[in-house]
Amino acid sequence: MKIIESSRIKEKAYIEKLENGLTVIIIPKENTNKKYIIWGTHFGSIDNRFIMPKTQEEVFIPDGVAHFLEHKMFEQKNGTNSLDTLMALGIDANAYTTNDHTAYLFECTNNFYEGLDELMDYVQNPYFTDENVEKEKGIIGQEIKMYDDDPGWQLYMNAMDCMYKENPIKIDIAGSVESISEITPDVLYKCYNTFYHPSNMVMVVCGDFKPEDLLEEIKKRLIPKESQSEIKRIYPEVEKTINKPYKEVEMEVSTPIFAIGFKDIESLKENRSEIVRKHIAIEILLNLLIGKSSDLYKELYESGELLEEPSLDYEFSDEYSHILISGQSKNPKKIQEKLENKIEELKKGLIQEDFERIKKKVYGDYVIEYNSVGDIARMFLADKMKQINSFDYIEEYDTVTKEYTEEVLKNVFKKENIILSVVKSKVTK
């Protein structure tokens, strides 16, 4: 097995690409009782148009298929549900769908190999019928309506609508009631057979394991599959401008919530180590601008303009890249104005002492993630889907200088690329 390691934090990851194309990553953690496994496929909500590797047929699927497929994978031909089976073993199991991948996971202290049997059985043996697909449409339809009434989710989706015109990231991960009505067993099998091929999947395991022994156990449970060429995904061209600068809706909220976004329109297909450096620099800048220890946060919080510590996020892939700053305020436009002023102030030059302090804080956040087997496994999977080595965030840390961070500030935090999404309180008549 190939070994990658971080000399800084004394952690190792063992990586093997099997003959069928499956990538297995094992991160041993001695003297820990918890074991965590996550098996992901590079198939998310943005993958709604592709060319099938074997037939070269171009396929355009309804919105929400990746999420629908995730829900259906647990149902077995014998009438059992794999989530129930895992819970009966005392195992905490779950699954999720994102913009770029779908994952099945569990955490346990005991019965790991019994759990592995179930996980590898249900992920490799889909069972879709007209009846069970129709039944699921009702369940997911209710979930979609629930999210339609969720202010936080609508805030996020409206922010995506502001930043992107055609990009599929603006499509709800679950789709719509209308789009899922078009899903059939044939659509699900077509997507399963394309995207759930081992060559498009990654398995990450973290816990007190001997990597070679665990790898043999995984191999034993794999169903042989014919090789498959790379899936050609079709996306709209990368948009160089925002779609609209502002969107506002009224919902049942006690205080308005806001999301200020910056669309990053630089080349997204850079080399991977450069993406990591940029990500580190952006995290430093967000903390300097409006993080909990920043002057601007203290000013806004003490004046009552900002009601809580804002959420700071950077989302990126080859197809999209943006920053989101979210929080609660009675005057979101005032927050945006003061943030823009702070950005212009920082563009005159970062203070070395402040830069070093926040840089150490960001590094500490990275190190803390290695305390949890779940955090480690999820991180390695999400990064692998972006073709990033998770250890690079530790190893590239020293290469992020004040001067480099100032360049990122000028290139990414531009006034013409800023948007504001607001969910405000309904006006009572």
* pLDDT band, residue 427 (cuts 50/70/90): confident
CA distance 253 to 424: 7
CA distance 130 to 184: 7
Percent of the chain with pLDDT over 90: 93
Could you give the strand order of the β-sheet that contains 11-17, starting from the edge strand earlier in sequence? 2-6, 11-17, 23-28, 201-207, 35-41, 102-108, 92-97
- For the chain, what are the domain ranges? 2-233, 246-425
* pLDDT band, residue 274 (cuts 50/70/90): confident
* pLDDT band, residue 267 (cuts 50/70/90): low
For 2-30, the pLDDT digits (tens) are: 999 998 999 999 999 999 999 999 999 99
Task: Clarify whether 70 is annotated catalytic.
Answer: yes
Please report, to the nearest 10 degrees, the dihedral formed by the alpha carbons of residues 343, 346, 348, 349 taken in order. -150
* Measured CA distances, 304 to 298, 329, 339, 426 (Å): 10, 8, 15, 21
CA distance 386 to 279: 13
Write the CATH number of the domain with boundaries 2-233. 3.30.830.10
The answer to whether domain 2-233 and domain 246-425 are alike in fold is yes
- The pLDDT assigned to 38 comes to 98
Write the CATH number of the domain with boundaries 246-425. 3.30.830.10
* Measured CA distances, 162 to 137, 165, 318, 421, 428 (Å): 29, 8, 19, 8, 27
Mean pLDDT, the chain, as a whole number?
Answer: 95
Question: Among 44-48, 124-128, 227-231, whose mean pLDDT is lowest?
Answer: 227-231
* DSSP bridge partners of 383: none
Angle at 390 between CA 26 and CA 403, to 5 degrees: 165
* pLDDT band, residue 167 (cuts 50/70/90): very high
Active-site residue identified among 30, 58, 70, 406: 70
Alpha-carbon Rg for the chain, nearest whole angstrom, is 23
**Nearest-10 crossing angle of helices 65-72, 185-195:** 90
Among candidate residues 423, 411, 282, the one with its CA nearest the CA of residue 359: 282
Mean pLDDT, residues 144-149: 94
Say if residue 388's pLDDT is above 60: yes
Say if residue 269's pLDDT is above 70: no
For 393-408, the pLDDT digits (tens) are: 999 999 999 999 999 9
Distance of CA 422 to the CA centre of its chain: 23
Mean pLDDT, residues 127-137: 95
HSE toward the beta carbon, residue 390, CA cutoff 13 A: 25
Say if residue 39's pLDDT is above 90: yes
